[in-house]
Amino acid sequence: MKRSKLSRRITWRVLGIILCFNILIIGAILLFVLEVSLMNSSMRGKYVTDGIAGNLENMMYVAKTGTFNNRLEVEYNMETPEQVFNSLEKILTVNTHLKGCFAAFEPDYFKGQGRWFEAYAYRTDSTHIETKQIGSPHHDYFNGVWYKRGLSLARHDNGYLTDLYYDDCVNSSMYCSYVVPLFDRKGNKVGVYGIDIELQWLDELMHETVNEVKQEFFIDKDDSIETSDDDIYFSIQIQDSQGNRIAGSDSLDTNILKNKQEIISKELGMYDLLGTPYYISTSKIGQTDWTLTVFQHREMVFFWGVVLATVILFFMSIGGIVIFFFMSRSIRHATKPLAFLSKSAQEVAKGNFNTTLPTFRHNDEVAQLRDSFDTMQQSLRQYIEELKETTASKAAMMSELNVAHSIQMSMLPKTFPAFPNRRDIDLYASLTPAKAVGGDLYDFFIHDEKLFFCIGDVSGKGVPASLVMAVSRTLFRNISAHTDRPSHIVDSMNVNICDGNDNCMFVTLFVGVLELKTRLLRYCNAGHDAPFIQDALLPCDSNLPIGVTTDMTYTEQETTIPRGATLFLYTDGLTEAENASQEHFGMKRITDVITAFSGSPQELIETMITAVHQYVGETEQSDDLTMLAFKLN
């Protein structure tokens, strides 16, 4: 399998971390650019709306001042129509900046002039003023909004600025008028007086403002966002109360604004017009129902932001490439010693503990790793030498243990059937040590038509227990050759085991003598588990194990074994056999096996061994497992 390089992994990992941080930084920059672009557009819209609104308000102030001042001239000269015309003409003569003025009276105010009388004076050029009566059924000003609104005002109220209208009575131009009510000498309203305001100057002002803003963006037609109709990128409009355009660019259809009156009610925001997002700034013009609206195309709003973001991304990309180049070279150079150490480690792994390790100039972590490898080499050499010695010693010890195991097993009867020439008894025994040598023992022999048998368990395990086991078995054979009383046998063995027992080792022991003809069993139990007769435990006195104290007097018991009955003896390695959950095999399972069994002693022991193995599974054997059983036929 092809191995990956550490330097490459480190490079890509560091690059990934840098990339993640760059993405976060770029995101923060883009958000900042977005906010700055929106803030800049907001300031631009406010600057434009404030400037134009200021000019309009100045115009309104001039119109208001002129209207209120000149109204008195008309009110003092309303005796005859001629006086009214003369007053209007005089007003235009004095106020050279006015285009025209008018006085519209209530129905039939001047007798002989008919129902409608609206005196109108206007300039034809800079030196000539003409007057005209324009009231007629075709020009029914009584139903005009401007007349009704003007007539509804009180004397000291601000005047009313009309919406834009097309003047077809004089010179067919677009005007708006500022009107106030007229009062006679008695204080009664008799009509309205107003001055005309031509909006050509407003168009020029808005056009100049648009050009100033466009100079910021549309510097070069080849490198800018300008199109054949660049008013769609930035435009200014003034709408009247009905949403009709009064002045400004006509690139955006006024009907769109009529359908979006909620835009006019808000100061600022991004909205979709004609399928294109526009940043819209609005401002109400004081003392009028007019709304000044500034439209900034999305591309214009984010133009410099996109330029700035592009420049930042470009230089960050270039910087990333440069950083990647130098970083990869630096990491390769820094990790190069690790490749040398890797080769040396491979040689050490092959067993070449004398492989020369590279030396480094810098006393850094790599140099420390090299020193650690050197220490490891020396430790491995020493360990191998010690391992060789230990292995040799262990092999010798295992050989000795195997010999000891063979000797120990040879001391126990292991030929079965045990008494092939006898039909009255069937006996079988088994010992499985937990280690090479164990501390369990069993023995049996027939002398003078009596079966002598024992089973025991030495405290502890291993070699010490095996030595005590050998002594105990030898004592049993020697003492039982001179007496057939189990209590005497146990008592004598106890005295001999206690003599010189500095390690305080003891032996649980069960000794029995069975008269084969009478089936009388005499037995002595020294702290051992009670055996089974068939599926019931044999009653046993509670005596101490041998090897504890010489002052112990062991009791002897006897019973008659029924014909065909089986006596089953065992050590605690059977009851305390543990499974993976450290649960013991227990007396209940032993009883269940014995109760359900009716075969020979050998089959009983083999069945019990199988049951134990199935219970403990793969769990390691923790104690010697010894069983002895015989059956009287």
Mean of pLDDT values over 394-420: 74
Q: How many other CB atoms are there within 10 angstroms of residue 262's CB atom?
A: 9
Higher pLDDT, 604 or 9: 604
Gap between the Cα atoms of 106 and 442, Å rounded: 146
Which residues have CB under 8 Å from 523's CB, separation 6+?
Answer: 486, 510, 511, 512, 513, 538, 540, 556, 557, 558, 559
Mean of pLDDT values over 45-53: 76
Encode pLDDT of 88-136 as tens digits: 999 888 888 788 899 999 999 998 888 999 999 988 887 889 998 988 8
Retrieve residue 78's tokens: 């309303």
Gap between the Cα atoms of 370 and 352, Å rounded: 16
Q: Which of 123-132, 160-169, 370-379, 568-577 has the highest mean pLDDT?
A: 568-577
DSSP tally for the chain: helices H, then strands E: 14, 22
C-alpha torsion angle, residues 61, 64, 67, 72 (rounded to 10): -110
Task: Name the amino acid, one letter, at 158.
Answer: N
Query: In this structure, is the dihedral angle defined by the CA atoms of residues 479, 482, 486 and 488, taken in order, positive or negative?
Result: negative
Per-residue pLDDT band for 399 (boundaries 50, 70, 90) equals low
Q: What are phi and psi of 120, to 5 degrees?
A: -135, 130
Higher pLDDT, 283 or 396: 283
Which residues have CB under 8 Å from 417's CB, separation 6+?
Answer: 426, 427, 428
Mean of pLDDT values over 480-507: 90
Encode pLDDT of 335-356 as tens digits: 777 676 777 777 777 777 677 7
Contact (Cβ atoms closer than 8 angstroms) between residue 509 and residue 493: yes
CATH architecture assigned to 412-632? 4-Layer Sandwich (3.60)
Encode pLDDT of 421-432 as tens digits: 988 899 999 998
Gap between the Cα atoms of 349 and 71, Å rounded: 114
Encode pLDDT of 234-257 as tens digits: 777 777 777 677 777 666 655 555
Angle at 95 between CA 91 and CA 99, to 5 degrees: 90
Per-residue pLDDT band for 168 (boundaries 50, 70, 90) equals low
Retrieve residue 593's tokens: 């096996």
Give the mean pLDDT of the chain: 81
Angle at 272 between CA 266 and CA 275, to 5 degrees: 160
Encode pLDDT of 205-235 as tens digits: 777 777 777 676 654 444 444 443 445 677 7
Gap between the Cα atoms of 404 and 157, Å rounded: 131
**pLDDT computed for residue 251 by the predictor:** 64
SS3 state at 134: coil
Query: In this structure, is the dihedral angle defined by the CA atoms of residues 212, 217, 223 and 225, taken in order, positive or negative?
Result: negative
**pLDDT computed for residue 275 by the predictor:** 64
Mean of pLDDT values over 436-457: 90
- Strand 234-239 with 291-297, pairing: antiparallel
Gap between the Cα atoms of 263 and 313, Å rounded: 36
Gap between the Cα atoms of 73 and 63, Å rounded: 15
User: What is the number of alpha carbons within 13 Å of residue 112 lying toward its C-beta?
Assistant: 3
| Residues forming CATH 3.60.40.10 domain(s) in the chain | 412-632
Burial (CB < 10 A; 0-12, 13-18, 19+), residue 617, is exposed
Q: Is the pLDDT of residue 173 over 70?
A: no
**pLDDT computed for residue 404 by the predictor:** 62
C-alpha torsion angle, residues 62, 64, 68, 70 (rounded to 10): 50
Per-residue pLDDT band for 507 (boundaries 50, 70, 90) equals very high
Residue 582 Rama label (left phi>0; alpha psi -120 to 50; beta): left
Which CATH entry fits the domain spanning 76-198: 3.40.50.360, 3.40.50.410, 1.10.10.60, 3.30.450.20?
3.30.450.20
| Residues forming CATH 3.30.450.20 domain(s) in the chain | 76-198
